[in-house]
């Protein structure tokens, strides 16, 4: 079975610090996609960043970047210069057959 | 902007009631999804639909049914609500149908319905 594991239920950092959220997954597929989604308190889930497994280069979106290690099946999210608005639940997700498999989420709190 | 709306933000129902959760998207997306979100469990797929009148079971379909009579609308039905169905229900849509090998298209989410069954 395909699974996604987020080992950090909750993290907190000071504003402006860099934080890394971990995600590992298990699959026998070779072609797939990985995503990080963000769910701010009482707001809708939105996509943060995506990575295609066949691409070697790590995806980046402004302050957000990933460290994709295909052999290790690891897909961590780095948030640089963290801001108060980054406070949210962060979910890692994996897509190989038209549906997403989700991790349990990491609650990230940015402290002023 | 893609907009996904859900009929209620909060809903309180009694055990045994039939419950309808409605979801509407305005971007002509083929795929629509219903998830259940519980603390520590992430999102679990209940049902999804890749076309009108088409539906596929997700990981936890027991106790639920769905209906998609129009492309923009996807309904989740709890035939006889039970207390263990108290949860946050999220609807999502995405712009591509069934694709082998996965899809890079993001899913767009509604605001969620927090359902309490007493």
Q: Using pLDDT thresholds of 50, 70 and 90, give the confidence band for residue B99.
A: low
User: Quick check: B102 and A44 CB within 8 A?
Assistant: no
Q: Is the pLDDT of residue A25 over 80?
A: yes
Q: Is the pLDDT of residue B105 over 90?
A: no
Which residues of chain B neighbour A104 with C-beta distances below 8 Å? 40-42
Torsion of CA B28, A29, A7, B114, to 10 degrees: 30
| CA–CA distance, A110 with A82 (Å, rounded to integer) | 7
Could you tell me if B38 lies within 8 Å of chain A, comparing CB atoms?
no
Lowest mean pLDDT among A48-62, B9-23, B88-102: B88-102
Could you tell me if A5 lies within 8 Å of chain B, comparing CB atoms?
no
pLDDT score recorded for residue A1: 74
Closest of B31, B94, B35, B43 to residue B64, by C-alpha: B35
| CA–CA distance, B103 with A28 (Å, rounded to integer) | 17
Name the closest residue on chain B to residue A2, using Cα atoms.
B59
Closest of B106, B28, B109 to residue A48, by C-alpha: B106
- Strand-by-strand arrangement of the B73-78 sheet: B4-6, B19-25, B73-78, B64-70
Q: Residue B86, exposed/middle/buried by CB under 10 A (0-12, 13-18, 19+)?
A: middle
Which residues of chain A neighbour B40 with C-beta distances below 8 Å? 9, 104
User: Quick check: A33 and B104 CB within 8 A?
Assistant: yes
Which carries the bigger pLDDT value, residue A70 or residue A99? A70
Q: Using pLDDT thresholds of 50, 70 and 90, give the confidence band for residue A18.
A: very high
| CA–CA distance, B38 with A105 (Å, rounded to integer) | 10
Q: Is the pLDDT of residue B34 over 90?
A: yes
Report percent pLDDT > 90 for chain B: 77
Q: Is the pLDDT of residue A30 over 70?
A: yes
């Amino acid at each position: 079975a395909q699974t996604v594991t987020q080992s950090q239920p909750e993290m907190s950092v000071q504003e402006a610090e860099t934080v890394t959220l971990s995600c590992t997954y298990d699959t026998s597929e070779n072609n797939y996609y990985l995503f990080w989604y963000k769910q701010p308190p009482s707001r809708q889930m939105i996509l943060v960043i995506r990575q295609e497994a066949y691409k070697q280069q790590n995806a980046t979106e402004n302050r957000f970047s990933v460290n994709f290690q295909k052999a290790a099946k690891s897909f961590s999210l780095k948030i640089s210069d963290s801001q108060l608005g980054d406070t949210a639940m962060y979910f890692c997700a994996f897509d190989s057959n038209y549906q997403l498999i989700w991790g349990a989420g990491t609650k990230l709190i940015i402290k002023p | 902007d893609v907009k996904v709306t859900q009929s209620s933000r909060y809903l309180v129902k009694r055990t045994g009631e039939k419950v309808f959760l409605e979801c509407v998207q305005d971007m002509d997306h083929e795929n629509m999804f219903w998830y259940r979100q519980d603390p520590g469990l992430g999102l679990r797929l209940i049902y999804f639909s890749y076309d009108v009148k088409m539906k596929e079971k997700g990981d936890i379909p027991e106790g639920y049914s769905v209906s998609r009579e129009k492309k923009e609308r996807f309904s989740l039905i709890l035939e006889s609500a039970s207390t263990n169905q108290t949860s946050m229900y999220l609807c999502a849509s995405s712009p591509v149908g069934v694709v082998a090998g996965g899809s890079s298209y993001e899913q767009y989410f509604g605001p969620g319905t927090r359902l309490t069954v007493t």
